[in-house]
Amino acid sequence: MSKHRYPAADIAVVERVIRERRDIRHFVAGRLPDGLLDRLLEAAHLGPSVGYMQPWRFVRIVSNETRMALWGIVDAERVATAASLPTRAADFLKLKIDGIREAAEVLVVALMPGREAHLFGRRTLPEMDLASTACAIQNMWLLARAEGIGLGWVSFFDPEAVGELLEMPPGSRPIAILCLGPVAEFPAAPVLESQGWGRRLPMDEVVFEDRWKAGAGGTPTAY
C-alpha cells in the first residue's frame, strides 16, 4: 500500500462526490455562501493543463440585462436543436436545458486567444486546450457538489453570438455556460437517464485491452 494513500474515509468521500455529481437545471432561491465562488474558481484554476498553458478564462455575468441576453441565445439554440432531431423534437422541448434565469451565479467559460502558439502537447492534438478546460470545470463541479451547491453545464448556444455579446477578443471561444446555486435536491440518477435519453454503459463497452474490441461502436442515440 502506498505511503501516499489517503485514509479510507477520505477516499470514500472522493468516490461519493464523483458518483453523486449531477448536471443541474433546477435551482431554488438563494445565494452562494460567502467566499464559495472564489473557492470554486480557485479549484478550477488548479486543474491540469497541457503544457501548463492554463487556457481557461471565466466571465462572471453580473447584470440581469446580460444574463437575459445570454438566455435568449440559449433558447434560440434550444429551438434549433429540437428542429434537428429526427424523432423526438417534442420530447426534447419538454426538457429544461438551463437554469440561467434562476441560478444564483452564471459564468461563461472560454478558451483564451493565442492558443496556437502553445505547441507543447498540442502539436498533433490541438483540442487538448478544450480537454484541459473541461478538467478545470470538473474540479469546480465536484467541489460544488461537496458543498451542496448545484452546477449545470449549458452547451446549447452559438459561440459566435456569445463571444459578440461578451466582447471576447478574436481567437477566444466560449465553450460552457455554468449555472450555480442552491437546489432543492440532487437527483438519484442523471435526469437524461431517468427520462430515457441514455443509459450508463457497462464497463466492457468502454474498456478494451491491447486492441479495439471487435464489433464495438459508438454510443447509440435515443432519437
State the pLDDT at residue 209: 97
State the pLDDT at residue 205: 96
Please name the residue that has the C-alpha cell 459564468. Answer: 107
Of 107, 85, 105, the C-alpha closest to 94 is 85
Grade residue 165 by pLDDT with cuts at 50, 70 and 90.
Answer: very high
Residue-wise pLDDT for 84-119, tens only, equals: 999 999 999 999 999 999 999 999 999 999 999 999
Cα–Cα distance list, 162 to 57, 61, 71, 128, 192 (Å): 14, 12, 10, 22, 26
Please say whether the beta carbons of 106 and 100 come within 8 A: yes
Grade residue 1 by pLDDT with cuts at 50, 70 and 90.
Answer: confident
Residue-wise pLDDT for 5-62, tens only, equals: 999 999 999 999 999 999 999 999 999 999 999 999 999 999 999 999 999 999 999 9
State the pLDDT at residue 25: 97
Distance CA 144, CA 42 (A): 12
Distance CA 204, CA 216 (A): 10
- Averaged pLDDT, 199-218: 96
Residue-wise pLDDT for 130-160, tens only, equals: 999 999 999 999 999 999 999 999 999 999 9
Q: Which three cell numbers stand for residue 168?
A: 471576447
State the pLDDT at residue 116: 96
Average pLDDT, the chain: 97
Backbone angles phi and psi of 82, in degrees to 5:
-55, -40
Q: What string of H, E and C letters represents the secondary structure of 14-42?
A: HHHHHHHCCECCCCCCCCCCCCHHHHHHH
State the pLDDT at residue 154: 98
